[in-house]
Amino acid sequence: MSNYHIKHLEEYFQVYRKSVRNPEAFWEEIAEEHFLWRKKWDKVLSWDFSKPEVTWFEGAQLNITENCIDRHLATRGEKTAIIFEPNNPEEEAQHISYYQLHDKVCRMANVLKEKGIQKGDRVCVYLPMIPELAVTILACARIGAIHSVVFAGFSSNALATRINDSDCKIVITSDGSYRGNKSIDLKGIVDKALEECPGVAHVLVAKRTKSTIEMKNGRDEWLQPLLDAAYGDCVPEIMDAEDPLFILYTSGSTGRPKGMVHTTGGYMVYTAYTFKNVFQYRENDVYWCTADIGWITGHSYIVYGPLANGATTVMFEGVPSYPDFGRFWEVIEKHKVNQFYTAPTAIRALAKQNLEFVENHDLSSLKVLGSVGEPINEEAWHWYNNNVGKKKSPIVDTWWQTETGGIMITPIPYVTPTTPTYATLPFIGIQPALMDEEGHEIMGNQVEGRLCIKFPWPSMARTIWGDHDRYRDTYFTAYKNNYFTGDGALRDAVGYYRITGRVDDVIIVSGHNLGTAPIEDAINEHPAVAESAIVGFPHDVKGNALYGYVILKETGETRDRDNLRNEINQQITEHIGPIAKLDKIQFVSGLPKTRSGKIMRRILRKIASNDVSNLGDTSTLLNPEVVQEIIDNVV
């Protein structure tokens, strides 16, 4: 088992050096020894970041579900693959064995086939965190269909945009979803979205909340009877390593969401290898990632990475606050969770509660704690370390992105000494670089710059669905021959990386990646609004919250401001979803602009953050007088 499981720091450095000196030989060895291929590759890697074009394991053939399910059946058939923990703790948890998962995935695959879905077709999955979600994406992979999961908190508008962008033929959804003591009418959202989606011929509906919904004749069907009638075996479609596995949308700083395309072979190898090492997963461990499968974290580290290792992975339907703020700790105790992976925003929210919520539970099963999605501040890090890990479980602060497919900068627990707020060292095979504003690499330590990656890694996104030019322009143009992440970072004296945050117009709110432009577009559609600008400001639980500056049209001037604020947030909820709502809205007569008409967001960010001491030179603005007005009326 060469290099598959890193066990000490010296070994990390050795393997790291090997992986960058000869990446092809390194990844070839990993791929060869730990996965099931129907045909081996002709070439491990070809790449050209100027096009950009990257292929890993070209010529190889495989099916990822054979790797995630079938090959485990002989030795782990009875082992639990997925533990489903429902929203309501009174409802019994489900333990789905690898045998059962095989049966469920095959049935679902056959149902999709019956509906005419073939290799390469796009399938939209709009489901809550119920087993059908994992089963459906695996079923797509089984038959070579490309899944496009849309987080079930997105609105009908956002769903419609995503369905149409990738031309999905079918939508898999549920009647409703549970979220704490609320239930949400998912099917109603789908119905509304589909008014704009002529290409969708079928909707399959899983039953969850048993709420009354409308079923459109000839289009909508209940899923369960179809699954019951389907055959429990399905020959896996043989895929090329570079065939698309899925599309997952992420927001950009401008315009429409970007459908990041991930392919099969490299994604499998990298997510499996990182999972094994970053969580130091051992046979019979129980691993729990609290993310939703609607995000990349769930794709890579609830479904594909864990299952490719034959692991037991927990799927949690609920929220950290229901029925009370002890829920996470109760679930850890109940299922004897060994690795726990969550987001700083959840940690901060839980740290605000009475410590008894944690202390009432036996957390002694924990071996590794993970953090992902946004920078973890020092206070939250210590709270997590002291009260959850009892200073015995290392914290892995994992930096990565939807685009990277897998974890990129991270400690390896029990291997890399950790430092609060530092993601520490690049993972095996990852070659980070810090760049200055002129586009030159900054060498040495104790430096800060823009974070790029200078060499391909197996799980990187290959393109943006339908828009390869945008892929090139967004990621490969700013720094020649480098992938630009959009983040800033510093490298300290020992070479550890600390991510300092986005340097573009993306704002991370509660770990969710939000682009300013789509939110502004949504606000500007309000009939009383002339123009708007969104910035982030520090928030003690969410990390960042959104602050909106809004210029009203003359017709809006006489309207009640609080009503307008509600309507604007309603508008955002309808266009994007509740996650993009603004915490503060200030009505202004103008926005600070450069002479070329560009909004000076830097100034707006400072005002929103209550940091007006050093606004820099505002005299070159087109309308410098507006700055004082904005400061005087800050909310």
- Helix (H), strand (E) counts: the chain: 21, 31
Q: Does 402 bind ligand WT7 (CB under 6 A)?
A: yes
Of the listed pieces 37-45, 133-141, 230-238, 373-381, which binds ligand WT7 according to CB under 6 A? Answer: 373-381
Contacting residue, 186, 499, 579, 604, with ligand WT7 by CB under 6 A: 499
Tell me the chain's radius of gyration from C-alpha atoms: 24
Residue 53: beta bridge partners? 48
x/- contact string, 460-489, with ligand WT7 (CB under 6 A)? -------------------------xxx--
CB of 254 to ligand WT7, least distance (A): 16
Burial per residue of 155-166, b for 16 or more beta-carbon CB atoms within 10 angstroms, e otherwise: bbbbbbbbbbbb
Q: Does 157 bind ligand WT7 (CB under 6 A)?
A: no
Q: Does 400 bind ligand WT7 (CB under 6 A)?
A: yes
Of the listed pieces 109-117, 156-164, 393-401, 558-566, which binds ligand WT7 according to CB under 6 A? Answer: 393-401
The reply to whether omega before 323 is within 30° of 0 (cis) is yes
CB of 376 to ligand WT7, least distance (A): 7
d(CA 578, CA 149): 18
CB of 386 to ligand WT7, least distance (A): 20
Helix (H, G, I), strand (E, B) or coil at 48: strand
Query: Which spans in 77-130 are helix H?
Result: 98-114
Nearer to ligand WT7, 280 or 513 (CB): 513
Nearer to ligand WT7, 209 or 277 (CB): 277
End-to-end CA distance of the chain: 59
Q: Does 505 bind ligand WT7 (CB under 6 A)?
A: no
* DSSP, residue by residue, 168-219: -SEEEEES-EEETTEEE-HHHHHHHHHTT-TT--EEEEE-SS-------TTT
Of the listed pieces 60-68, 315-323, 397-405, 592-600, which binds ligand WT7 according to CB under 6 A? Answer: 397-405
d(CA 354, CA 255): 42
Are residues 101 and 135 in contact, defined by beta-carbon separation less than 8 angstroms? yes
d(CA 583, CA 569): 9
Q: Does 395 bind ligand WT7 (CB under 6 A)?
A: no
Q: Does 453 bind ligand WT7 (CB under 6 A)?
A: no
Count other C-beta atoms under 10 Å from residue 586's C-beta. Answer: 18
Crossing angle, helix 625-632 and helix 601-608, to 10 degrees? 20
Nearer to ligand WT7, 541 or 612 (CB): 541
Contacting residue, 398, 416, 516, 586, with ligand WT7 by CB under 6 A: 398
Nearer to ligand WT7, 110 or 459 (CB): 459
Of the listed pieces 190-198, 290-298, 517-525, 560-568, which binds ligand WT7 according to CB under 6 A? Answer: 290-298
Q: 374, 415, 351: which is closest to 498 by C-alpha?
A: 374
Nearer to ligand WT7, 107 or 601 (CB): 601
Q: Does 85 bind ligand WT7 (CB under 6 A)?
A: no
Q: How far is CA 427 from the centre of its chain?
A: 19
Cα–Cα–Cα angle for 624, 546, 507, rounded to 5 degrees: 95
CB of 410 to ligand WT7, least distance (A): 8
Are residues 314 and 337 in contact, defined by beta-carbon separation less than 8 angstroms? yes
Residue 214 CB burial class (10 angstroms; 0-12, 13-18, ≥19): exposed
Nearer to ligand WT7, 102 or 502 (CB): 502
Token readout for 264 is: 């099969």
Of the listed pieces 263-271, 272-280, 383-391, 400-408, which binds ligand WT7 according to CB under 6 A? Answer: 400-408
How many CA atoms within 13 Å lie on the side-chain side of 271?
33
Token readout for 382 is: 């210590």
d(CA 256, CA 22): 38
Q: Does 508 bind ligand WT7 (CB under 6 A)?
A: yes
d(CA 96, CA 615): 57
Nearer to ligand WT7, 148 or 209 (CB): 148
Beta strands 202-206 and 220-222 are parallel
Contacting residue, 177, 513, 569, 586, with ligand WT7 by CB under 6 A: 513
Q: Does 374 bind ligand WT7 (CB under 6 A)?
A: yes
CB of 309 to ligand WT7, least distance (A): 19
Contacting residue, 166, 250, 274, 393, with ligand WT7 by CB under 6 A: 250
Beta strands 432-435 and 239-240 are unpaired
Nearer to ligand WT7, 84 or 295 (CB): 295
Tell me, by CB under 6 A, how many residues bind ligand WT7: 22
Nearer to ligand WT7, 255 or 624 (CB): 255
Of the listed pieces 371-379, 527-535, 603-611, 622-630, which binds ligand WT7 according to CB under 6 A? Answer: 371-379
- The DSSP H or E segment spanning 223 is helix 223-229
Whose tokens are 């503060």? That residue is: 584
Q: 572, 548, 505: which is closest to 634 by C-alpha?
A: 548
Are residues 460 and 269 in contact, defined by beta-carbon separation less than 8 angstroms? no
Of the listed pieces 101-109, 196-204, 234-242, 368-376, which binds ligand WT7 according to CB under 6 A? Answer: 368-376
Token readout for 188 is: 């109603």
Contacting residue, 131, 298, 326, 373, with ligand WT7 by CB under 6 A: 373
Count other C-beta atoms under 10 Å from residue 603's C-beta. Answer: 22
Contacting residue, 165, 285, 397, 504, with ligand WT7 by CB under 6 A: 397
Residues 410-429 close enough to bind ligand WT7 by CB under 6 A: 423
Q: Does 459 bind ligand WT7 (CB under 6 A)?
A: no
Contacting residue, 361, 502, 565, 606, with ligand WT7 by CB under 6 A: 502
Q: Does 297 bind ligand WT7 (CB under 6 A)?
A: yes
CB of 266 to ligand WT7, least distance (A): 17
CB of 94 to ligand WT7, least distance (A): 26
x/- contact string, 208-247, with ligand WT7 (CB under 6 A)? ----------------------------------------
Of the listed pieces 73-81, 220-228, 394-402, 585-593, which binds ligand WT7 according to CB under 6 A? Answer: 394-402
Q: Where does this chain bind ligand WT7 (CB under 6 A)?
A: 250, 295-297, 372-375, 397-402, 423, 485-487, 499, 502, 508, 513
